[in-house]
């Protein structure tokens, strides 16, 4: 597994403590405070950092973040420069790259747009490419055959190879295949269990993709297929988490003995217990994806700081962040209303506390962003009493007492985010 991580990173992956990385975690977020905290974690650990954007977040038209692939690269590089994290230790990945955003078009037109998407990602410097062509487009049957999925994925791989050659990339892209993943952002319905990928299905997926690569003359590129996306039996819905059960994934894990040079990539590992993350890595799930989990704790930190603000700042001067976010979410319900169900009180609770954390879509809203900045400014102008910090953010209270953080609002926010990132970092160093 170490070889796969090394190939992904393209650099030494020995930690500062002399331990060898057994896996790598992937931060799937476009929030600058989250990315800054993750970089500080990797800086302290002496490890590379994998940051990924999805095809919905970032595409050749701007995605929902308004950023094209080259824009996202510049965005991440600016944060790295500010933190003091070497760009050379950054690994940028593209997740679910394929025709997903254009399923309403004919299959051919959707694939042409997906080709442009892949070209833009590779040209911008993304080096980890997840090829996802599992979705049906206009004129397709409801469920695509494995051979069609693989043929379309190989078509996109050929585009990536051409782009890398044209741009003179010193390091060629590495690829992730497979599409058996949980619903992005967590399930919208209540879950009781999740079916683990069958070991036979995992082998079949690799075999049919390998044949498709060979038919296109992509044998050399196939050597850079480093991971297969599978379902290890982890998921979360709005209010609970399906925990990893190693005994259910034993047969799947054993498949890796037949797939030299590859690991499994596990999506939706958010909210798993620290011991479960470690076990996932031991069992061959060498790439752990986390998305809503890091913005969930970001929201916890900001709302706790807003509670502190309410204790020590005059009402007329407060940011009233929670109220502002709630008002904006109600005024612009497009990012949550089709996902959250129930009566008014149930939906109110989900808007803030759902594990799917659809609040994350609103942090870039101008009104919300202004309120969050006012909160930071208000608390930066005063010294937060440590006894109040103990009441609302007890872990950060002890870090302040020990001198780990300076007690500024941003140090507190980053510390809270690093509670989660640090669990992943620890799991990958087993």
Domain ranges of the chain: 2-290, 295-417
pLDDT of residue 182: 46
Q: Give the residue, 272 or 185, on which the prediction is more confident.
A: 272
pLDDT greater than 80 at residue 271: yes
1: Cβ contacts below 8 Å, ≥ 6 apart? 22, 23, 263, 281, 284, 286
pLDDT greater than 60 at residue 178: yes
| Span 420-425, average pLDDT | 98
Rounded-to-integer distance, Cα 134 and Cα 111, Å: 12
CB burial of 122-151 (b: ≥16 within 10 Å; e: otherwise) equals bbbbbbbbbbbbbbebeeeeeebeeebbbb
| Span 133-140, average pLDDT | 96
- Encode pLDDT of 222-259 as tens digits: 999 999 999 999 999 999 999 999 999 999 999 999 99
| Span 114-129, average pLDDT | 98
390: Cβ contacts below 8 Å, ≥ 6 apart? 397
Binning pLDDT at 50, 70 and 90, where does residue 21 land?
confident
* H/E element, 379: helix 366-380
Binning pLDDT at 50, 70 and 90, where does residue 192 land?
confident
pLDDT of residue 110: 98
Task: State whether residue 141 is helix, strand or coil.
Answer: coil
2-290 and 295-417 in the same fold: no
Closest CA to 99 of 140, 124, 147, 132: 132
Adjacent-strand bridge partners of 289: 26
Which CATH number is 2-290's, of 1.10.1370.30, 3.20.20.140, 3.40.1350.10, 3.20.20.70?
3.20.20.70
Rounded-to-integer distance, Cα 133 and Cα 155, Å: 10
| Span 331-338, average pLDDT | 97
* Strand extents, DSSP E, 276-339: 287-290
Question: Does domain 295-417 fall into CATH 3.40.50.1780?
Answer: no
7: Cβ contacts below 8 Å, ≥ 6 apart? 174, 224, 226
């Amino acid at each position: 597994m170490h070889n796969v991580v090394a190939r992904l990173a393209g650099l030494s992956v020995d930690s500062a403590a002399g331990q060898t990385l057994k896996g790598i975690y992937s931060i799937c977020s476009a929030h600058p405070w989250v990315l800054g905290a993750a970089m500080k974690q990797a800086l302290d650990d002496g490890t590379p950092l994998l940051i990924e954007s999805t095809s919905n977040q970032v595409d050749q038209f701007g995605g929902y973040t308004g950023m094209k692939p080259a824009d996202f690269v510049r965005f991440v590089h600016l944060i790295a420069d500010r933190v003091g994290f070497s760009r050379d230790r950054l690994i940028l990945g593209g997740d679910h790259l394929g025709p997903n955003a254009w399923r309403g078009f004919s299959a051919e037109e959707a694939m042409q747009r997906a080709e442009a998407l892949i070209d833009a990602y590779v040209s911008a410097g993304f080096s980890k490419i997840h090829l996802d062509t599992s979705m049906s487009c206009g004129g397709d049957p409801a469920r695509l055959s494995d051979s069609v999925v693989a043929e379309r994925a190989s078509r996109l791989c050929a585009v990536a190879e051409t782009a890398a050659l044209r741009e003179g990339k010193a390091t060629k892209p590495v690829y992730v295949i497979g599409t058996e993943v949980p619903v992005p952002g967590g399930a919208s319905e209540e879950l009781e269990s999740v079916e683990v990928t069958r070991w036979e299905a995992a082998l079949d997926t690799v075999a049919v993709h390998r044949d498709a690569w060979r038919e296109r003359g992509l044998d050399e590129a196939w050597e850079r297929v480093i991971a297969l996306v599978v379902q290890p039996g982890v998921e979360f819905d709005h209010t609970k988490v399906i925990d990893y059960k190693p005994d259910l994934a034993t047969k799947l894990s054993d498949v890796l003995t037949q797939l030299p040079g590859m690991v499994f990539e596990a999506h939706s590992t958010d909210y798993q217990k620290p011991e479960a993350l470690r076990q996932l890595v031991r069992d061959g799930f060498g790439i752990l994806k986390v998305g809503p989990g890091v913005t969930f704790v970001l929201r916890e930190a900001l709302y706790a700081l807003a509670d502190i603000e309410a204790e020590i700042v005059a009402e007329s001067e407060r940011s009233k962040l929670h109220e502002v976010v709630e008002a904006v979410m109600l005024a612009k319900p497009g990012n949550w209303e089709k996902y959250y169900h129930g009566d008014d009180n149930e939906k109110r609770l989900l808007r803030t506390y759902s594990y799917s954390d659809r609040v994350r879509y609103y942090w870039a809203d101008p009104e919300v962003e202004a309120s969050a900045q006012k909160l930071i400014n208000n608390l930066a102008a005063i010294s937060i009493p440590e006894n109040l910090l103990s009441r609302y953010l007890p872990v950060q209270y002890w870090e302040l007492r020990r001198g780990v953080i300076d007690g500024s609002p941003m140090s507190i926010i980053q510390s809270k985010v690093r509670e989660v990132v640090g669990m992943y970092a620890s799991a990958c160093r087993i």
